[in-house]
């Protein structure tokens, strides 16, 4: 059994965007190995690119490379318009900022407390919304959905809903939210997978949440309404979503915040 060392290098106009799972690896007669080529297109302008991956092995006189260089062609398209995110109350109305203007993020809410604890918020619950129109020119299927939040908890086990629609009709209803009957909505959990958004159609995702600290003692860092727009560690809520397709070519991410204040 003869040992061989196999190595590879990238050449071409985007060689700097190509990396490998390992720069070299060992093989022996009759053996096989699987390794990966990674291509980072993040900083590439739209257009067509080509690169070659050259494979070599030592001792060279004992190894033949059957397919020669690996030719890679990459087509980069303009990304779709970024998603928009906004926070509403339970009636679908945006929260207001300190000046009384409805805003997508940075709104305020009241933290209601008695002498012992936080009893409620006004509004009592919140909706995080993500809206994205698929302008990629192709159908997109998101295989990963991750939700993260600060100072919030999901309002119910089935707190996430997804709607897909075009100019004429809903093509995936808000009831189509669970994977294999598993409720969708726990923070940090991938759910409603896959989410198929045909070309030209619009995705609307909502996440129903409530303030995490209802029932706890009033945190001293939560300011009074007169201090708006001052933020606080325990009074400012935030929600974010990250959706990605299996190929990693389409990634949607955006979030929003709101800050709670006491009435006095």
CA separation for the pair 236, 106 (Å, rounded): 9
Compute the residue count for the chain: 264
Q: Which two tokens stand for residue 51?
A: 């690169």
Give 120's strand partners: 112
Nearest to 237 by CA among 258, 212, 254: 258
pTM of the model: 0.68
Q: Which position has the higher pLDDT, 33 or 186?
A: 33
What percentage of the chain has pLDDT greater than the value 70? Answer: 83
Dist. CA 157–CA 161, nearest whole Å: 11
At 225-243, the pLDDT tens digits run 999 999 999 999 999 999 9
Pairing of strands 84-88, 126-133: antiparallel
Closest CA to 74 of 31, 105, 39: 39
- 162-217: pLDDT as tens digits: 888 887 777 766 555 544 555 666 655 556 668 889 998 989 898 999 999 999 99
DSSP state of 39: E
Q: Give the pair of three-digit tokens for residue 159.
A: 């707190």
């Amino acid at each position: 059994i003869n040992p061989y060392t196999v190595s590879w290098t990238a050449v071409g106009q985007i060689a700097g965007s190509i990396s490998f799972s390992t720069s070299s690896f060992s093989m022996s007669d009759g053996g096989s190995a699987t390794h990966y080529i990674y291509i980072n297109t993040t900083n590439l302008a739209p257009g067509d690119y080509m690169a070659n991956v050259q494979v070599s092995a030592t001792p060279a006189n004992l190894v033949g490379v059957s397919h020669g260089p690996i030719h890679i062609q990459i087509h980069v398209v303009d990304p779709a318009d970024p998603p928009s995110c906004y926070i509403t109350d339970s009636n679908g109305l945006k929260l207001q900022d300190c000046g009384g203007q409805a805003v997508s993020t940075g709104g305020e809410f009241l933290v209601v407390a008695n002498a012992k604890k936080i009893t409620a918020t006004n509004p009592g619950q919140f909706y995080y919304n993500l809206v994205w129109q698929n302008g990629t020119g192709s159908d997109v299927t998101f295989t990963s959905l991750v939700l993260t939040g600060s100072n919030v908890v999901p309002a119910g086990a089935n707190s996430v809903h997804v709607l897909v629609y075009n100019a004429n009709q809903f093509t995936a209803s808000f009831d189509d939210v669970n994977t294999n009957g598993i409720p969708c909505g726990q923070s940090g959990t991938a759910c409603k997978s896959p989410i198929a958004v045909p070309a030209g159609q619009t995705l609307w995702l909502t996440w129903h949440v409530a303030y995490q600290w209802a029932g706890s003692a009033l945190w001293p860092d939560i300011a009074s309404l007169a201090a708006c727009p001052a933020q606080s560690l325990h009074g400012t809520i935030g929600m974010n979503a990250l959706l990605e397709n299996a190929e990693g070519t389409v990634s949607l991410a955006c979030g929003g915040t709101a800050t709670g204040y006491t009435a006095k």
